[in-house]
Amino acid sequence: MAYPNHFCLLLSILLLSHHTFSLHTTTSFPLKIHHNHRGNGATIGRRRERANGATCDMFQGSWVFDASYPMYDSSACPFVEPEFDCQKYGRADKMYLKYRWKPSACELPRFNGQGFLTRYRGKKIMFVGDSISLNQWESLTCMLHASVPNTRTTHTRTSTLSTVTFQDYGVSVMYYRTTYLVDIVNESVGRVLKLDSITGSSWLGVDLLIFNTWHWWTHTGNEQPWDYVQDGGQMVRDMDRLVAFSKGLSTWAEWVDANINPSTTKVFFQGISPTHYRADEWGDAGSKNCNKQTQPIVGSTYKAGPLPAQSIVKSVLSSMSKPVYLLDITLLSQLRKDAHPSTYSGDHAGMDCSHWCLAGLPDTWNQILYAALIS
Question: What are phi and psi for residue 364, nearest 5 degrees?
Answer: -70, -40
User: Cα–Cα distance between 311 and 306 in angstroms, integer?
Assistant: 8
Q: What is the DSSP letter of 40?
A: -
Which of 37, 145, 340, 355 is the catalytic position? 355
Which of 147, 352, 354, 363 is the catalytic position? 352
Q: What is the DSSP letter of 355?
A: S
| Strand order from edge to edge, sheet including 161-166 | 153-157, 161-166, 171-177, 124-129, 208-211, 266-270, 325-327
Is 355 one of the annotated active-site residues of the chain? yes
CB 91 within 8 A of CB 82: no
User: Cα–Cα distance between 269 and 222 in angstroms, integer?
Assistant: 28
User: Cα–Cα distance between 48 and 240 in angstroms, integer?
Assistant: 36
SS3 10: helix
Q: Which of 279, 187, 170, 276 is nearest to 228 (CA)?
A: 187
Which of 74, 85, 130, 131 is the catalytic position? 131
Q: Tell the burial category of 200 from Cβ atoms under 10 Å away from its Cβ (0-12, 13-18, 19+).
A: buried
CB 336 within 8 A of CB 110: no
CA 332 vs CA 140, 256, 308: distances in Å: 18, 27, 16
Q: What angle do CA 164, 167, 173 make, to 5 degrees?
A: 30
Q: Which of 117, 101, 200 is nearest to 164 (CA)?
A: 117
Is 183 one of the annotated active-site residues of the chain? no
Is 68 one of the annotated active-site residues of the chain? no
Question: What are phi and psi for residue 305, nearest 5 degrees?
Answer: 80, -170
**64-69: long-range pairs with CB below 8 Å, 24+:** 64/99, 64/100, 64/102, 65/98, 65/99, 65/100, 66/98, 66/99, 66/100, 67/98, 69/97, 69/98, 69/99, 69/100, 69/359
Task: State the catalytic residues.
Answer: 131, 352, 355
